């Protein structure tokens, strides 16, 4: 995370996230690092995160309509969102996940 | 498919009838091919046919990666063409992967690549050992995404991946305003580029195909008309047929004993083509009707294309001069197909004719008049079609008769169809209706008859209740 978000975190319901990465590529590693940092800092206990390597599960990529990698799928709460890229744009990530920090 | 030492590039048959002839064997094996064209020109069908025929005719499994239509839609859309996607999927010969991209759900949060797409494609190819791949239409990826430079470099990587993988791939692209495709895909696919075109000229829609580029191979450079019918796409390589048909020596009657006698062989050759020219009202149709009836008498199926009269009118009018078509139609020996020439494009006429040829397997075909076709295209198109038509008839050993309207008073033929057909036809009969001693006199002259002698006399005739009657006795 390039900039640290401060304040009280507001989330509606539990977050269910799935991060699809392609092996150990630098972009994959960056995305993993970024999402872990975000979870540790703000979302302790209120997030369920699964990291999936599509190299090992190629079938899942097509079932889950993954085109870009890395891709973070927000399954819950609805609406579903797909966050593509290394998740380095924190503001965008928080907004897309429906997280507001007061 | 390498035919000679010079043609070292390996080819993959396209499965599109006519296209292999133009491309000297098909697409470059193991390389990507770009098919571009505007919306509705048949790109998806083209790609689907390549894939399906690859499976059914050449036993090459295929992957269809669809960026637009869902796999369910594809299955539905191609059912009507007899492409059974479901069966082929069940046999592990076909994989359909629908790449659905919901723009509204996507947020770009940093650098990304298309690795996931590569993995999907690779998985699909490996799972069935695919040799053919279709990407339809990959440019969809670009819409709404911010990082164009990234996508471009990924697309470039995708093409080199396909080459490395050794699959023959079709990539479709929407035609751009100033370039072949909107995203300039032609820059990346350097081996083979095909342009499809759908245009309306004088209210008649025609489809055209052109090979823009084919590296390392000779190919036809013309624009070729192509058709879409219930059997899919077929390209008409109008000029690539060869002159190698068989020529029977059997003699058949023209339907008029007196006319038969004017030929040294007492008739005309089977499977020969006859042209009847004359201005309006010179009894061209009547002569054609005699010819048709004689074919029916030989118990041979006859197909009569009428571009001016409805079947009913033709039957009625011929009945008044003793030519009974009704019986021939009832006994299913005569089939009259009437349509306005302008109703369809030239290719459609040719297609209908080809279809009827396969369905009815006629031994005799009459086109009355062939000159009507000139109204629906420019003369070079009509010319090419006529050559194709004549060759088709010859190869199928069909007796052919064409009538053609010529303008009054002109000694030379200003009508290009007559020029062309008369040189192609084996027999040419000229009809006139001229004024002599305050009387209109009908007469007939054989201009040429290949492979036999013929009378050089102008023979007068009248139309009676029993058809054409020659008034002057024929001499050889």
Query: Quick one: pLDDT at residue B366?
Result: 93
Contacts of B327 (CB under 8 A, 6+ apart): none
**Is B109–A83 a contact, with Cβ atoms under 8 angstroms apart?**
yes
Confidence of residue B237 (pLDDT cuts 50, 70, 90): low
* CATH code assigned at A81: 3.40.30.10
Confidence of residue B8 (pLDDT cuts 50, 70, 90): low
Torsion sign (Cα): B152, B186, B55, B167: negative
Between B127-141, B204-218, B274-288, B371-385, the lowest mean confidence (pLDDT) is in B371-385
User: Within this chain, do residues B174 and B122 fall inside the same structural domain, yes or no?
Assistant: yes
Asked whether the beta carbons of B263 and B449 are under 8 A apart, the reply is yes
* B241 vs B244: CA distance, rounded Å: 9
Asked whether the beta carbons of B39 and B195 are under 8 A apart, the reply is no
User: Within this chain, do residues B198 and B277 fall inside the same structural domain, yes or no?
Assistant: no
Instruction: Please tell me which of the candidates B110, B116, B141 has its beta carbon nearest to residue A22.
Output: B116
**Is B111–A62 a contact, with Cβ atoms under 8 angstroms apart?**
no
Query: Quick one: pLDDT at residue B476?
Result: 42
Query: Quick one: pLDDT at residue B126?
Result: 93
Q: Which residue has better confidence, B455 or A101?
A: B455
Span B346-352, average pLDDT: 73
Q: How many CB atoms lie within 10 A of CB B226?
A: 25
**Is B119–A80 a contact, with Cβ atoms under 8 angstroms apart?**
no
Nearest CA among A34, A46, A40, A41 for reference residue A1: A34
Is residue B320 scored above 80 in pLDDT?
yes
Q: Is B3 among the domain residues? A: no
Contacts of B203 (CB under 8 A, 6+ apart): B342
Among the residues of B247-331, which ranges form H helices? 257-261, 284-297, 311-319, 325-330
Query: Quick one: pLDDT at residue B224?
Result: 80
* B88 vs B26: CA distance, rounded Å: 23
Domain count, chain B: 2
* CATH code assigned at B355: 3.40.50.300
Confidence of residue B302 (pLDDT cuts 50, 70, 90): very high
Confidence of residue B421 (pLDDT cuts 50, 70, 90): confident
Q: Is A83 among the domain residues? A: yes
User: What is the maximum span of chain A, computed from C-alpha positions, in angstroms?
Assistant: 41
Domain end, chosen from B184, B204, B235, is at: B235
**Is A30–B110 a contact, with Cβ atoms under 8 angstroms apart?**
yes
Q: Which residue has better confidence, B262 or B377?
A: B262
A31–B contact, CB cutoff 8 A:
yes
Q: How many CB atoms lie within 10 A of CB B467?
A: 19
B463–A contact, CB cutoff 8 A:
no
A65–B contact, CB cutoff 8 A:
yes
What number of CA atoms fall less than 13 Å from residue B384's CA on the CB side?
Answer: 15
B97–A contact, CB cutoff 8 A:
yes
Average pLDDT score over chain A:
82
A70–B contact, CB cutoff 8 A:
yes
Instruction: Please tell me which of the candidates A67, A83, A96 has its beta carbon nearest to residue B114.
Output: A67
Is residue A20 scored above 90 in pLDDT?
yes
Q: Is B240 among the domain residues? A: no
Order across the sheet with B334-338: list the strands: B334-338, B302-306, B364-368, B399-405, B273-278, B427-436, B439-449, B459-464, B467-470
Structural domain of B64: 11-235
Instruction: Please tell me which of the candidates A25, A83, A88 has its beta carbon nearest to residue B115.
Output: A25
Query: Quick one: pLDDT at residue B475?
Result: 47
> What ipTM was estimated for this complex?
0.86
Contacts of A22 in chain B (CB under 8 A): 113, 115-116, 119
Tokens 């008769």 belong to: B401
**Is A81–B113 a contact, with Cβ atoms under 8 angstroms apart?**
no
pLDDT tens digit sequence for B72-89: 888 888 887 788 888 888
Q: Which residues of B273-299 are buried (b: 16+ CB within 10 A; e: fewer)?
A: bbbbbbbeebbbbbbbbbbbbbbbeee
Contacts of B161 in chain A (CB under 8 A): none
Query: Quick one: pLDDT at residue A2?
Result: 44
Domain count, chain A: 1
Contacts of B116 in chain A (CB under 8 A): 20, 22, 54, 61, 66-69, 71
| Count of positions (residues) in chain A | 102
B408–A contact, CB cutoff 8 A:
no
Confidence of residue B64 (pLDDT cuts 50, 70, 90): very high
Among the residues of B146-201, which ranges form H helices? 148-165
Confidence of residue B1 (pLDDT cuts 50, 70, 90): very low
Query: Quick one: pLDDT at residue B340?
Result: 79
User: Within this chain, do residues B264 and B227 fall inside the same structural domain, yes or no?
Assistant: no
Burial class of residue B358 in the structure, from the number of CB atoms within 10 Å of its CB (0-12 exposed, 13-18 middle, 19+ buried): exposed
* B411 vs B130: CA distance, rounded Å: 64
Query: Quick one: pLDDT at residue A53?
Result: 92
Domain end, chosen from B204, B235, B266, is at: B235
Confidence of residue B280 (pLDDT cuts 50, 70, 90): confident
Domain end, chosen from B167, B200, B235, is at: B235
Contacts of A82 in chain B (CB under 8 A): 102, 105-107
Asked whether the beta carbons of A4 and A37 are under 8 A apart, the reply is no
Contacts of B97 in chain A (CB under 8 A): 62
Contacts of B326 (CB under 8 A, 6+ apart): B315, B319
User: Within this chain, do residues B46 and B137 fall inside the same structural domain, yes or no?
Assistant: yes
User: Within this chain, do residues B296 and B350 fall inside the same structural domain, yes or no?
Assistant: yes
Confidence of residue B376 (pLDDT cuts 50, 70, 90): low
Q: Which residue has better confidence, B299 or B1?
A: B299
Query: Quick one: pLDDT at residue B344?
Result: 67
* B62 vs B53: CA distance, rounded Å: 10
User: Within this chain, do residues B170 and B265 fall inside the same structural domain, yes or no?
Assistant: no
Active site residues of B: 68, 308
Pairing between strand B62-66 and B132-136?
A: parallel
Structural domain of A46: 9-101
A20–B contact, CB cutoff 8 A:
yes
Confidence of residue B240 (pLDDT cuts 50, 70, 90): very low
Residue of chain A nearest B115, judged by CA positions: A69
Query: Quick one: pLDDT at residue A10?
Result: 64
Average pLDDT score over chain B:
83
User: Within this chain, do residues B230 and B261 fall inside the same structural domain, yes or no?
Assistant: no
Q: Is A47 among the domain residues? A: yes
Query: Quick one: pLDDT at residue B71?
Result: 84
A vs B, Cβ pairs < 8 A, gives 103
The verdict on whether omega for the bond into residue B119 sits within 30 degrees of 0, i.e. cis, is: no
Q: Is A58 among the domain residues? A: yes
Q: Is B218 among the domain residues? A: yes
Asked whether the beta carbons of B83 and B52 are under 8 A apart, the reply is yes
Q: Is A53 among the domain residues? A: yes
Q: Is A67 among the domain residues? A: yes
Q: Is B243 among the domain residues? A: no
Q: Is B257 among the domain residues? A: yes
Q: Is A3 among the domain residues? A: no
Between B24-33, B177-186, B425-434, the lowest mean confidence (pLDDT) is in B177-186
Q: Is A36 among the domain residues? A: yes
A30–B contact, CB cutoff 8 A:
yes
DSSP state string for B196-238: EEEEEETTEEEEEEEEEEETTS----SEEEEEEETTEEEE--T
B144–A contact, CB cutoff 8 A:
no
Q: Which residue has better confidence, B43 or B205?
A: B43
């Amino acid at each position: 995370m390039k900039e640290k978000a401060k304040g009280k975190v507001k989330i509606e319901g539990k977050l269910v996230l799935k991060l699809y990465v392609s092996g150990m590529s630098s972009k994959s590693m960056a995305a993993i690092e970024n999402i872990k940092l975000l979870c540790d800092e703000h979302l302790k206990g209120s997030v369920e995160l699964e990291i999936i390597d599509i190299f090992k599960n190629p079938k899942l990529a097509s079932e889950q309509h993954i085109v870009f990698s890395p891709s973070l799928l927000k399954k819950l709460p609805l609406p579903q969102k797909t966050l593509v890229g290394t998740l380095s744009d924190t503001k965008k990530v928080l907004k897309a996940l429906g997280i507001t920090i007061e | 498919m390498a035919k000679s030492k010079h043609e070292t590039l390996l080819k993959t048959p396209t499965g599109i009838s006519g296209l292999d002839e133009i491309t000297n064997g098909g697409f470059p094996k193991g390389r990507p091919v770009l098919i571009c064209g505007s919306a509705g020109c048949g790109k998806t069908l083209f790609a689907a046919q390549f894939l399906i025929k690859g499976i059914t005719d050449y036993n090459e499994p295929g992957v269809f990666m669809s960026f637009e239509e869902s796999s369910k839609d594809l299955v539905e859309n191609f059912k009507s063409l007899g492409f059974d996607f479901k069966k082929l999927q069940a046999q592990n010969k076909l994989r359909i992967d629908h790449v659905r991209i919901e723009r509204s759900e996507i947020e770009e949060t940093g650098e990304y690549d298309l690795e996931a797409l590569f993995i999907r494609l690779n998985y699909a190819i490996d799972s069935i050992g695919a040799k053919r791949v279709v990407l339809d239409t990959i440019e969809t990826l670009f819409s709404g995404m911010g990082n164009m430079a990234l996508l471009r470099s990924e697309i470039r990587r995708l093409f080199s991946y396909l080459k490395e993988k050794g699959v023959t791939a079709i990539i479709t692209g929407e035609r751009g305003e100033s370039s072949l495709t909107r995203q300039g895909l032609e820059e990346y696919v350097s081996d083979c580029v095909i342009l499809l075109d759908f245009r309306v000229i004088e209210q008649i829609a025609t489809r055209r195909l052109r090979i823009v580029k084919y590296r390392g191979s000779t190919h036809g450079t013309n624009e070729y008309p192509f058709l879409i019918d219930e059997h899919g796409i077929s390209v008409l390589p109008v000029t690539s047929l060869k002159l190698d048909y068989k020529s029977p020596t059997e003699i058949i009657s023209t339907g008029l004993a007196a006319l038969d006698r004017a030929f040294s062989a007492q008739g005309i050759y089977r499977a020969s083509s006859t042209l009847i020219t004359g201005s309006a009202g010179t009894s061209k149709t009547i002569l054609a009707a005699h010819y048709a009836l004689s074919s029916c008498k030989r118990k041979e199926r006859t197909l009569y294309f009428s571009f001016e009269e409805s079947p009913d009118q033709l039957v009625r009018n011929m009945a008044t001069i003793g030519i009974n078509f009704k019986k021939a139609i009832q006994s299913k020996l005569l089939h009259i197909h009437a349509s306005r020439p302008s109703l369809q494009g030239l290719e459609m006429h040719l297609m209908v004719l080809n279809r009827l040829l396969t369905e009815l397997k006629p031994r005799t075909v009459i086109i009355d008049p062939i000159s009507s076709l000139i109204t629906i295209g420019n003369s070079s198109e009509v010319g090419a079609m006529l050559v194709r038509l004549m060759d088709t008839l010859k190869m199928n050993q069909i007796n052919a008769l064409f009538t053609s309207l010529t303008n009054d008073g002109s000694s030379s033929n200003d009508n290009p169809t007559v020029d062309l057909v008369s040189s192609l036809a084996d027999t040419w009969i000229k009809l006139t209706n001229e004024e002599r001693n305050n009387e209109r006199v009908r007469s007939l002259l054989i201009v040429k008859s290949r492979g036999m002698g013929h009378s050089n006399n102008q023979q007068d005739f009248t139309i009676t209740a029993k058809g054409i009657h020659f008034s002057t006795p024929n001499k050889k």
